[in-house]
Structure 1
């Protein structure tokens, strides 16, 4: 079974989660053809993902960035975060919103002790192509969250890791009592890079945290902070994986990087 056929099978198995993003009708999958009751057609790409976005994806984040992010994550930069997130999840159907190249979701599912179904959504075609390249067995979708291809009340857990939030859509997508897990940077996140570019400038995310608490029923908040020793050959990927460094030259080599994050857990 090739990637296109495998993705079609995964979509058939999870067909009840999806709707047409154009007319909101139910989707059917026949072979590798996806269509809705109004005959809108969607492409299952041979690389193993579904494209629900009917126009060119934004090019702010390019393939080089996603490839670098994949290499950094595979080398373990976020392993403690993935372990902690897996411990917080006790539900089956997980949607990663703004999944990029998919490594966060793939690694969380590896740590997760129960059987879980994963779906990833990102508006970047380059990101989703990279996700499908490295992480088969997960449903990867190119789509706009503001007009998402998902049925209401479909997901047990929504992940939103270092990505913008859309709380109205979060509330629509989550099952009653479903978990919303948002990861945001704290003051010293990637401080070694930011010191080279901006001086000792820290993140301030009080407004983001307060908005989360206003929009959702707060369950808990966890802080995770550690220094990561950068493996040989990974520093260049680390520099390229973040938009902080776009168009910037690296001033000095890095041997460590700080991961400093808040995990916000809420319910709808």
Structure 2
């Protein structure tokens, strides 16, 4: 049985006999929602009324990923994760759960047992994830306060997410791995050229501090997407921060597109802690 920590007092949580409530010795309790997830993000820890991706962003991402445009990335993540022993996997910033579901499907084919936890600060994302795969422990929680015990995770995934170095280091076992996916320089370049008057290239840098994490493997994954439906183009724009950063003119240009050839360009990196 997976152990969770209370987000208020950090004591272990126990699931009651009905499997509908988690509680700690200090009397804090958290109900399992009807969709099957647990909300472990107390009101006092929220920075806004509705943190994380909006319902519209979550739905757009779900539709886009359902069309298999990012299948090469899902395959690559599964390959890297499953190159090892049976394990506990945490997806920190799991969204609607696409990559965990794809990982579990591949693990089933290889007959490799996995215990998976999906965590996201967006309740809309976790609600959708929990509806689709009950095998995963789905949590509404923050990367800055992960409700798992110290040294409890073999592999931690952070895919296009926001790493919190100290907390990631705490929950990973001493021989654990941090696997991160981040945009490379050409990622969605063609879309950016349409919605922005000028595209600025940022210098490449590692997503976590080098004095804490040692890079043990890096692979660059680049492939081309052919979007031939206006709806899919809008889903891609809506699921990214670019929708909110672009000018109204840029959004109008994107809305008029009926076809888009765009580059997906990502770094898949593996780190181990050096602390």
Is TM (by shorter chain) over 0.5? yes
Partner of residue 222, structure 2:
225
Q: 2:27 aligns with which of 24, 39, 50?
A: 39
Contact 1:43 1:52 in 2 (8 A): no
Q: In structure 1, how many angstroms separate the alpha carbons of the residues matched to 2:138 and 2:35?
A: 10
Q: Deviations over 1:186-229 (max 9, x none)?
A: 111111221111145255352335x4434212211110001022
Report the TM-score when normalising by structure 2.
Answer: 0.85
Q: 2:9 aligns with which of 20, 23, 35?
A: 23
SS in 2 for 1:38: coil
Q: 1:168 to 1:205 in 2, by over 3 A?
A: farther
Alignment partner of 1:258 is 2:246: no
Report the TM-score when normalising by structure 1.
Answer: 0.87
Q: In structure 2, how many angstroms separate the alpha carbons of the residues matched to 1:214 and 1:231?
A: 45
> Mean alpha-carbon deviation: is it higher for 217-226 or for 77-86?
77-86
Contact 2:51 2:121 in 1 (8 A): no
Partner of residue 160, structure 1:
158
Q: Deviations over 1:239-259 (max 9, x none)?
A: 221121136332423332211
Q: 1:207 to 1:107 in 2, by over 3 A?
A: same
User: How many residue pairs were aligned?
Assistant: 253
Q: In structure 1, how many angstroms separate the alpha carbons of the residues matched to 2:113 and 2:53?
A: 32
Q: In structure 1, how many angstroms separate the alpha carbons of the residues matched to 2:191 and 2:198?
A: 10
Q: In structure 1, how many angstroms separate the alpha carbons of the residues matched to 2:226 and 2:170?
A: 40
Write out aligned runs for 1:112-131 (5 A): 112=107, 113=110, 114-131=112-129
1:173 Cα deviation after fit: 0.6
Structure 2 residues without counterparts, runs of 5 or longer: none
> Mean alpha-carbon deviation: is it higher for 96-105 or for 226-235?
226-235
Partner of residue 55, structure 2:
63
Partner of residue 141, structure 1:
139
Structure 1 residues without counterparts, runs of 5 or longer: 1-12
Alignment partner of 1:96 is 2:91: yes
1:182 Cα deviation after fit: 0.8
Q: 1:239 to 1:135 in 2, by over 3 A?
A: farther
Alignment partner of 1:109 is 2:104: yes
Q: 2:41 aligns with which of 47, 53, 72?
A: 53
Contact 2:78 2:102 in 1 (8 A): no
Contact 2:186 2:264 in 1 (8 A): yes
